[in-house]
Amino acid sequence: MTADREPPQSPVPPSSAEPNQPEEPNALPAPTDPAQATSPNDVTPGSSGAPDAPPNAPGAPAPTLVALDTRNRLHPLSLLFSFIDSVRNFIIPGLLVLIFAWGDKYELWVMVFFLPAMITSILRYISLTYEITTTEVVIRQGIVSRTERHILIDRIQNLDTVQSPMQRMFGVAELTIETAGGATEAEASLKVVSRDVVDEIRAHVKGRRTVTSAADGESSLALPSADETAIDPAAATPEPRDDDDGTPAAGIPATEAPAAETSAALDEPPILRMTMANLVAYGLASGRGLAIVGAGMAIGWQFGIFDRMSERIETVFPWIEGIPVFWAVVVGVPAGFVVLALLSIVWAFLKLFGFELRRTDDGLHSVCGLLTRREATIPNGRIQSLSIRQNLFHRITGSFTMRVQTAGGETNAQDQLNRFWVVPIARLNRAPELVNAILPDTDFMRLVWQKPHPRVRRRMFFRWLLLTAFVTGILHLNGAGGWTALPLAAIPLGWVAACLRYRMLEHAFDDDRLHVVDGLLGRRHDIVPVARIQAIGLQQTPIDRYHGLSSVNVAIAGPFGSGARARVFGLPLRRGMRLYHRLRDRTEREGWAVSAALDHSSAV
């Protein structure tokens, strides 16, 4: 996204401006770049659709790759990739079957799947078109039942690209468009389009969105002007959101900076870069090797490979039966751990090699991946909360990982990796700096930490008692005999856990951010900006009332049941009420300026 392709204040000839978009210039200006003009991969210029589309005025710069208001096909290579995609689920089991079940008549059964996959990929290529207008992305799909999906550009939460090695070879990428909403899947996925088209769509969307987000009063999260904010946080940050009439305060100068400045922002060193040591540490901390082995075992079990394999191993290495069990365990178990660790590290390298997190004028931008490159952007102002997490490994080695909650739907686990884990791993002493890079003006020095009442241990223990009583009852009913007493042995463990958790629990509220720390062996530190609070609740369950305690819940935007919230519990009722009132009245002072914290709040 070079600056020359998207001049923010390009003078637009009046003829090209859409009648219904008076304030917004046609944001897909032409790069007069001959090199790109010679690769018109995706253009099927208006042959099938949009006869009503206004042709670009002759005075206006003509887009090179994606013409506005025309229906475009995907890249022809998407035939290949969608075929691979639909077949991929069968490839590994298929190969396993072919290798280990040779001569069992399974291999023909596998082949049956390839033909429908081929047909569907062809049909999909023929039927799917996308169209970019000044306000929308329109995706039409389907042959028998046609669907037409209009995505307002203002509502787009994330534009992510994924490039597998093969796609990188061909210079194409998969573009995923996501809007805020509870959906578990992305709104639209263009698989695949050429890399240049991706850049152009990104630039277009970015150009449209900068203005709207600034008008929403999203100034607090806009790009800080590089130097001063970090040095002198108290003096250099005037209250930017004191505007009652919605006049954008500090956002406009930052977001509509001259082109030279925005490109300078892009050239800044990244906020975070993963070194080799980081990657190794990430792999070890993730413990992903165990998961890989587990998945392999599960697949193996499914196909009954183990029996065959052990037979073959014994035929190839007959001496294996001669090894005494003691030595097998003494050597085998550590060796197993080493293998697990190595697998985890390999996994980390594959996923996160070359990880870079940058702040651009667009938002937070991350790139990673050794073979498959993934790029993700979290637009400015879409970060709902931030969570610093440490598992036992992190706590021992003094490191942490950081996760971001956005209002968009949860996507599959692979995308989560670089979307939400903005900091895969870093040393603990970098935490304040990294938090401030993402949520500016988070002051850790001024925080006054508060602990819940010690009685909360009793409350947690009480719950544990109820649980053990329940389990004991079930065991007794099932006639477990002597085993009935087993859960009773776990009772002291419950008290230890309650004490450990009590040591971890604390919270702080400095009128701008609510910090909540929770954890047992691991530690989780959530930071919620006041401007992102959707609702606040003070609650007392009957058990709470028995102990004279209460809890304060803070709801953050997110899909229902996604756990997007912060919870402070174990406060005596009076303190709970005080915290609740402070939070409530702070959102009051926040006033109307942050009213459109979410873009879709202006929907109706």
* Between 306 and 546, CB nearer to other proteins: 546
Collapsing DSSP to helix, strand or coil, 304 comes out as coil
Q: Does the footprint of other proteins cover residue 600 (CB under 8 A)?
A: yes
With contacts defined by CB under 8 A, name the span among 218-226, 287-295, 519-527, 587-595 that binds other proteins: 587-595
Residue 516 makes contact with other proteins by CB under 8 A: no
511 binds other proteins (CB under 8 A): no
Cα distance between residue 390 and residue 400, in whole Å: 5
Residue 52 binds to other proteins (criterion: CB under 8 A): no
Closest approach of other proteins to the CB of residue 189, in Å = 24
Q: How far apart are CA 163 and CA 168, in angstroms?
A: 6
Which tokens in the block code for residue 497? 């856990």
In whole angstroms, what is the distance from residue 424 CA to residue 274 CA?
8
CB under 8 A: which stretch of 49-57, 352-360, 395-403, 530-538 binds other proteins?
Answer: 530-538
Please, what is the minimum distance in Å from the beta carbon of residue 250 to other proteins?
A: 19
Q: Rounded to a whole number, what is the distance in angstroms from the first to the last CA of the chain?
A: 33
Positions in 553-572 near other proteins (CB under 8 A): 553, 555-565
Q: How far apart are CA 148 and CA 140, in angstroms?
A: 4
Under rule CB under 8 A, residue 594 binds other proteins: yes
Residues sharing a CB contact under 8 Å with residue 588, sequence separation 6 or more, in sequence order: none
DSSP 16: T
Rank residues 15 and 602 by Cβ distance to other proteins and give the closer one. 602
The residues that bridge with 403 in the sheet, in sequence order, are 387
The correct pick among 538, 549, 571, 579 for binding other proteins (CB under 8 A) is: 538
- For residue 354, is it left (φ>0), alpha (ψ between -120 and 50) or beta? left
**Segment interacting with other proteins, rule: CB under 8 A, options 49-57, 161-169, 452-460, 595-603:** 595-603
Cβ-based nearer residue to other proteins, 46 or 181: 181
Give whichever of 55 and 246 is closer to other proteins, judged by the CB atom: 246
Peptide bond into 192 cis (omega under 30): yes
Q: Is 579 in the site for other proteins (CB under 8 A)?
A: no
Q: Would you count residue 601 as binding other proteins (CB under 8 A)?
A: yes
- Report how many residues bind other proteins under the rule CB under 8 A: 44
Is residue 420 near other proteins by the rule CB under 8 A? no
CA distance linking residue 388 with residue 401, whole number of Å: 6
Q: Record the tokens describing residue 371, joined without a space.
A: 């073979």
Handedness of CA 493, 494, 497, 498 (dihedral sign): negative
Contact call for residue 463 and other proteins (CB under 8 A): no
| Interface with other proteins, residue 578, by CB under 8 A | no
Which residues of 346-468 form beta strands (DSSP E)?
A: 356-359, 363-368, 373-379, 383-390, 399-406, 423-427
Residue 439 · residue 233 · CB < 8 Å: no
Instruction: Check residue 592 for interaction with other proteins (CB under 8 A).
Output: yes
Give the x-and-dash track for 237-266 against other proteins (CB under 8 A): ---------x--------------------
Q: How many CB atoms lie within 10 A of CB 73?
A: 19
Question: What's the Cα-to-Cα distance from 292 to each of 173, 287, 340, rounded to whole Å?
Answer: 27, 9, 9
**Type of residue numbered 9:** Q
Residue 130 in contact with other proteins, rule: CB under 8 A: no
Q: Binder to other proteins among 120, 416, 478, 602 (CB under 8 A)?
A: 602
55 binds other proteins (CB under 8 A): no
Question: Which residue in 2, 184, 416, 539 binds other proteins (CB under 8 A)?
Answer: 539
Does residue 22 belong to the site contacting other proteins (CB under 8 A)?
no
Residues in contact with other proteins by CB under 8 A are 180, 246, 407, 533-542, 545, 553, 555-565, 580, 583-584, 587-588, 590-592, 594-598, 600-604
